[in-house]
Amino acid sequence: MSNERVVLVTGGNRGIGRAIAERFVADGYRVAVTVRSGEGPEGTLTVRADVTDAAALDAAFTEVEAALGPVEIVVANAGITKDTLLLRMSEDDFDSVVATNLGGSFRVVKRAAKGMLRARWGRVILISSVVGLYGSAGQINYASSKSALVGFARSLTRELGARGITANVVAPGFIESDMTASLPEQVQADYKKSIPAGRFATTDEVAGVVAWLASDDAAYISGAVIPVDGGLGMGH
């Protein structure tokens, strides 16, 4: 019964991660969220962990395994931006974004893979971004961390694909969330003009695609990059 499976979503207290966790709860899964602050949505098990801290993540997984069982579906969603132009970008601006977005995904997936290998079943879903392949001025750190997730998912597919484990990337475009709400209104209006759909997406529209990738219908999809961007990144 796929819907009784155990899901873990990182960064489940707000934004896209919260919507993903809510969708899995609504679909009947057993859902844990890792948070750095705040709480996960109703019906989830909330565990605390910063994704840059492997020991804290290990403890969070151990807590989830004791309460719900081994994690079968992992969604690496936690992420940050520290936007600025190359010549102004500090070592820390670069390193902290890569350590969270790419390093965080590595730590979470490495820990989750143990249980998946034992079960010979698993779904790894990495939340990237349209800018990973499209590029974005002022986001060299962020775009690098997000495009790297494609190589990650494809290498994982080659390593673990024969063990019943799939690994895919979801690449959202502009989504209504705290991350985009902080953009000036004029910038938001300009972006909307360049998106064929003419609008930003809701977090639920990303959650639906993640839920589908976790479902039995997506069993033979691995190493794919699924855009959820209203056509913004077509061909990239």
Residues serving a catalytic function are: 142
Q: Is-contact 107 56, C-beta < 8 A?
A: no
Q: Is-contact 97 82, C-beta < 8 A?
A: yes
Q: In the bound complex, what is the minimum distance in angstroms from residue 32's beta carbon to ligand NDP?
A: 14
Which residue in 217, 213, 216, 118 sits closest to 168, CA to CA?
213
Among 180, 188, 202, 215, binds ligand NDP (CB under 6 A): 180
Residues 77-96 that bind ligand NDP (CB under 6 A): 77-80
**Residues paired with 34 in a beta bridge:** 10, 47
Among 70, 122, 172, 233, binds ligand NDP (CB under 6 A): 172
Q: In the bound complex, what is the minimum distance in angstroms from residue 83's beta carbon to ligand NDP?
A: 12
> Any residues with CB less than 8 A from the CB of 210 and at least 6 apart, and which?
20, 23, 75, 125, 127, 170
User: Half-sphere exposure of 181 toward its Cβ, with a 13 Å CA cutoff?
Assistant: 6
* Among 63-71, 110-118, 154-162, 173-181, the segment contacting ligand NDP (CB under 6 A): 173-181
Residues 187-226 that bind ligand NDP (CB under 6 A): none
Binding site for ligand NDP (CB under 6 A): 10-11, 13-17, 36-38, 50-52, 77-80, 100, 127, 129, 172, 174-175, 177-180
